[in-house]
Structure 1
């Protein structure tokens, strides 16, 4: 399976093959545009199996970076205009999230899982960046997930590019208090690994979560995800999602989170402001982000009635 990553180094946009090493030197290659912008120009190369060879024919000169800490990792396939990227996901997809009496065979799955919108590209963060949630959050939890990445081509057809791993940070307290608030509870920042694996989504991936507070480990746990952990049939889920033309404007990039195994909240733990959440996936992907509660709430709401009264006064 081929893996790529994107980064910035001394003002240059770069592409790397393989996984970025945690320490030591790394070879990267200059590119003129974000990788996904290159793919938009050559639609025949959208198939994940052809992307690696295509990119090798469009890279600039090689740069050997002595310290990987000197470059800034970027979310994979992020477009130049972040507003043309949509981040969404499915909820309660895993067998471990179903009631005990549920038939966990694929034939026992009825209907579709809940789908939710998380935000546009600006809500997607790399490892090391802070994740913000509204100050109104009731109870915050992590969710370790597989993320499928798509590019909608000029004909309005979603083309699968590959997968990565993510943390779907969630206000689970709000959702548990009122299940109709699922969509609101999901409007939090989320994290994604820098690497994109140019292959079908993994069947089974194990991993671990650790949460640190004020320099002390306060919780840790294990998880299992991947297509074999899903209660619903993945093809069935995606067919339903992409049947909606409103999600398929040409050139849109989609990051689709596939749902999670049990999280810290399921074991009675709650994430607090400034906690550091670290998720380690078995495929050597690591996400570590500090949670900030309430930092993104600074805006002034102008109510429609108030605006209308101001207009009438002027008239």
Structure 2
């Protein structure tokens, strides 16, 4: 089952259940957001799937038209954006260490000592899948921002004027809600572009967090239920109407060095991330990226990320925004 959030032409928000052919969406009655839908499922003590089936209307809307008109939203948001925490991890995929090590080698040379990235990747290979009921190796973790940094499909990705670069990171994202008792529930999964400044990151890995404090995009569809063990997709960069770079990517636990349960444990073990009513989007890591392949992006490039299990592709164009200059603080 896959869901979208969208706006009617009059601006009214709706949630839609994607039709079997992927070309339409059945509106859900009685809810206007996935956040409301998840709360209803928790209150009813049932599954999200059951709620969707009980609320789905027989009529359907044209999904392609919604996308073309820019009316499809990110698949999850919070009425208070500061209560939607955007975080992530890296070095979780079999190919991700190679991509990160290329960045390290390009900056520090072939004879540089083993990076901390390679060390933590090896820890994941050895202990990232401990099995049910067990705690494994601790993964990498970073803070991306809050709900105000999340963009939907088709929205422009801002490249800050102070940035040294900007490029895509195609990832699967787990989406979560905390119930009134502070217990985390996974709503589902979506595609994400964890847009980052890899040049800043490669200068010094203590700058990694700075490189992550950017906008990101999610969607267009929310996959409800379990994630397939093997997820295959493509990431592309379009420039002036032509594909100038593309690569296949693999995800899902069969292609990861950590289990999703292990990643989730090391995120939600912190009580500050278990506040009732909060939402979380957790990026699971990228296996491939254009920067590590030596490709240089430019403002105006459009990033496309697709995987058949998630339905339609996620597309966003990068746009340069002016540097605000010195940000000064005034004393009260």
Distance 1:133 1:260, change over 3 A: same
Alpha-carbon distance change, 98 to 299 in structure 1, aligned in 2, over 3 angstroms: closer
Question: Secondary structure of 2:287's match?
Answer: coil
| 1:22-41 paired onto structure 2 within 5 Å | 26-41=25-40
Secondary structure of 1:33's counterpart equals: coil
User: For the Cα contact (< 8 Å) 2:305–2:315, is it kept in 1?
Assistant: yes
Give the stretch that moved more between structures: 164-173 or 107-116: 107-116
Match of 2:230 in 1: 204
Three-state SS of the structure 2 residue aligned to 1:170 is coil
Pair 1:53 & 2:80 matched = no
Question: Relative to 1, partners in 2 of residues 1:241 and 1:104: Cα closer, same or farther, differing over 3 Å?
Answer: closer
For the residues of structure 1 that align with 2:20 and 2:160, how far apart are their CA atoms?
A: 32
Relative distance call for 1:293 and 1:46 in structure 2 (3 A) is farther
In structure 1, how many angstroms separate the alpha carbons of the residues matched to 2:148 and 2:124?
Answer: 37
User: Pick from 97, 120, 129: which aligns with 2:146?
Assistant: 120
1:3 aligned partner: 2
- TM-fit CA distance, 1:140: 2.1
Kindly state the Cα deviation for residue 112 of structure 1 after the two structures are TM-superposed: 2.1
Contact 2:124/2:257, CA 8 A, preserved across alignment:
yes
Q: Which runs of 5+ in 1 are unaligned?
A: none
Unaligned runs of 5+ in 2: 102-117, 129-135
Mapping of residues 42-191 of structure 1, within 5 Å: 43-45=42-44, 50-58=47-55, 64-65=60-61, 67-68=65-66, 69-70=68-69, 72-98=71-97, 106-107=125-126, 109=128, 111-191=137-217
Q: Residue in 1 aligned with 2:109?
A: none
Measure the CA separation in 2 of the matches of 1:44 and 1:159: 12
| SS of 2:48 mapped into structure 1 | helix
Distance 2:33 2:83 in 1: 13
**Superposed CA offset, 1:188-213 (max 9, x none):** 11111121111123311111122122
> Alignment RMSD, CA only?
2.8
SS at match of 1:39: helix
Taking the aligned partners of 2:215 and 2:272, their CA distance within structure 1 comes to 23
Aligned length: 300
1:79-124 deviation line (CA, Å, top 9, x unaligned): 2222221111102211212369976984355832221111111211
TM-score for the superposition, normalised by structure 2: 0.80
- What residue number does 1:14 align with? 14
- Match for residue 289 of structure 1? 316
- How far, CA to CA, are the matches of 1:236 and 1:80 in structure 2? 29
Residues in 1 aligned to 2:155 and 2:20: alpha-carbon distance in whole angstroms? 17
The structure richer in strand per residue is 1
1:232 partner SS: coil
Could you tell me how far 1:43 is from its partner in structure 2?
Answer: 2.2
